[in-house]
Structure 1
Amino acid sequence: MKASSVVVVPCYNEARRLSLTGFEQFRQYPNVHLIFVDDGSTDDTQAVLSDLCARLPGQARVLVQPRNGGKAEAVRAGMLAAYDAGAERIAYLDADLATPPEEMARLLEVLEARDVAVVMGARVALLGTHIERSAKRHYMGRVFATFASLILSLRVYDTQCGAKAFRRSERLRAVLATPFSSRWAFDVELIGRLMVDRPGLPGLSPQDFVEVPLQTWQDIAQSRLTFWDVPKMGLDLMKISLRLQALKRVP
């Protein structure tokens, strides 16, 4: 499967949540292909994904992980597969389709049109938009994004929106070469890795990133994020900060 744009969709026990009709909307975007990463699911996810791929012939495939490694590693495996398949633009999207297909396609269009390396969806409840997000999740997200911005030295509004797109580059391949240390805040770690200088590969600058306010986003009632995950994400931010500092010290 080769396409100019590939969207990675991590899936773990998503048999009841996967919307076949929702993902079928990607038929409208034939240049966008999908890689569903079954992250060691123990339910009927793999069967549902096989059915979905049959409905999107030549446009979708399943990458099966032998055991559950977490969302971070599922996304990393899918992005590496997309890179190895020759994709020019590599994105990831949550399986619940809180960000609908048309919004993901719009982010990819922005990445293609603008001279930037990363395009990130941002859930901003502006007039004229349809952003359904609980107050609790909104304020949790604002606190998290504030600390993430300080760690990254990047004025970013929404680090945790599950829709991001990246331009193919040697730098991207290099930062995906090793597993993420974070299971809960890998988005922040990925952005941070991209900004760190490597031998022969200068890090990205803030001008290489752009956030695009989403027109539509829906808070899915069955989302797995809970209040008790917040401390875990806080600890992950501390780990990421230490890890990025260590990378910056490598000659």
Structure 2
Amino acid sequence: MTDRRSFYDRRASFRVRESQRYYHQLLKRHFGFLVLPGVRVLETGCGLGDLLAAVRPARGVGVDFSETIINLARQRHAELEFHVADVLEFSSDEQFDYILLSDLVNDLSDVQAFLTHLHQFAHPRSRLVINFFNNLWRPVLAVAEAIGAKAPTPPQNWLSTEDMKNLLHLAAWEVIKTDPRILWPVRTPLVEPLLNRWLAPLLRPFCLTLCLVARPRPQTPPDQHYRCTVVVPARNEAGNIEAAVQRIPEMGLGTEIIFIEGHSTDSTWDEIHQVVARHSHRNIKIVKQQSKGKGGAVQEAFAAAAGDILFILDADLTVPPEQLPKFYEVLRSGTAEFVNGVRLVYPLEDQAMRFLNMVANKFFGLAFSWLLGQSVKDTLCGTKVLFRADYDAIACNRAYFGDFDPFGDFDLLFGAAKLNLRIVDLPVRYQARTYGATNIQRWRHGWLLLRMVSFAGRRLKFVR
């Protein structure tokens, strides 16, 4: 059996030259997209530490069993910390936000034991980012190794995506998304950008490297509870305000309601004041919107919120407020980190949604599920729930997408996907309006949604 430590020690003198191959540059770029900068990162099997440095950690720790290679890593990246240890034997009391395994699982004697071992370095919100070679490329890589275009390796594990998902499941990790990358690992003007940026997302089974993002399987104590804030954007909804207060339940450690009134032409603002006076026993705040659009209303209301968990409930009450505890429990239990309401599972009441709207919603659900890498069946259901801490992280990273979303739904969905949050769809019983008229303009907003698809594609899928 090959002594892997000796093998890699003997090849240490070649590593600097081999690390300059374009494949490694592409990997650094993609990991830089998947990993937030300025967080605590552990890389096991770190080699020269170039990938760890590329993700710009606030604290970066690398582990490799080759002392010769670790000495090179310390020379190249003095700002990072490196340890000589077998990854199955390395121990630390420190926990990390991201744990990276790049081209490592192909080389391990017991992948399941190693994945189980990694839990000691993870907290409940940690993310595990893995990449490994696609079986389809095995003969190509064998030829590349024979002609010196690829670094030689000892005998490898050739794992499929399903193999890796199963091993993660056995080791108590939950896969959030899969993201195959790289069709052409050679620097070639015009050809490489075309294949890797534009065609690789469309030809996922043929990509060279398979990337997975996972989180520790949730283990939330049953007595863990949170303060809640329900944000109710209201424009021309005077007839629904009283019912909203009466029907929004108390949840967790207490429920705050925030009405944000958005330039109504009816008596919504006056009605909110009157309802608040009649329900002084409820914790209610009122905000007069300064920006435009529902997206701006949600951002202003979230800024004023005191809860640990933030809910959005449309004032038309087409999603019954009585269903909010289901959203709370999915988030509280750790089943999800972002809960998205879905109106397209249960039968709809008459007049609840026009036929063309339903067709468009189904199309955009398929499109955005592909773009986000997680199932999102209904992007425009107004009810979405997330932790305040995650919303703050989305807001801090908003510059990546910019101020692009008049609806508010996509700012949150895109931000959650970029943060690798676990998004879960929760089916709701969608009901017809009992007061007022919809604020949705079918053709104008449909065109905006098509623009959102294009925008998300450039920022989340066809990434340079």
TM-score range, shorter chain: 0.7 to 0.9
Q: How do residues 67-146 of structure 1 correspond to structure 2 at under 5 angstroms?
A: 68-82=291-305, 85=306, 87-126=307-346, 132-146=352-366
**Cα distance in structure 2, aligned partners of 1:28 and 1:91:** 13
Long gaps (5+) in structure 1: 197-202
For the 8 Å contact 2:336–2:423, the answer to whether it is kept is: yes
Q: Partner of 2:227 in structure 1?
A: 4
Q: Partner of 1:175 in structure 2?
A: 394
How big is the shift at 1:114?
A: 3.0
Give the count of matched residue pairs. Answer: 229
Distance 1:19 1:77, change over 3 A: closer
Q: How do residues 187-202 of structure 1 correspond to structure 2 at under 5 angstroms?
A: 187-196=409-418
**Cα distance in structure 2, aligned partners of 1:42 and 1:176:** 30
How big is the shift at 1:78?
A: 1.1
Q: Partner of 1:222 in structure 2?
A: 437
**Cα distance in structure 1, aligned partners of 2:371 and 2:332:** 28
**Cα distance in structure 1, aligned partners of 2:244 and 2:264:** 21
TM-score for the superposition, normalised by structure 2: 0.45
Which is bigger in relative contact order (C-alpha 8 A, separation at least 6)? 1
Q: Give the letter for the 1:144 counterpart.
A: F
Q: Secondary structure at the match of 2:240?
A: coil
**Cα distance in structure 2, aligned partners of 1:100 and 1:234:** 29
TM-score for the superposition, normalised by structure 1: 0.79
**Cα distance in structure 2, aligned partners of 1:126 and 1:218:** 11
For the 8 Å contact 2:249–2:322, the answer to whether it is kept is: no
Q: Secondary structure at the match of 2:442?
A: coil
Greater CA drift, 231-240 or 171-180: 171-180
Give the CA RMSD over aligned residues. Answer: 2.7
2:452 matched to 1:236?
yes
Greater CA drift, 144-153 or 73-82: 144-153
For the 8 Å contact 1:119–1:211, the answer to whether it is kept is: yes
Q: Partner of 1:200 in structure 2?
A: none
Long gaps (5+) in structure 2: 1-225
**Cα distance in structure 2, aligned partners of 1:8 and 1:180:** 20
How big is the shift at 1:237?
A: 3.0
**Cα distance in structure 2, aligned partners of 1:43 and 1:173:** 33
**Cα distance in structure 2, aligned partners of 1:21 and 1:164:** 20
2:433 matched to 1:213?
no
Q: Secondary structure at the match of 1:18?
A: helix
Deviations 1:93-143 (A, max 9, x none): 11101111111232112211234211121113447x869433222111011
How big is the shift at 1:235?
A: 1.7
Deviations 1:47-84 (A, max 9, x none): 11112222332421101123x511001011112221xx
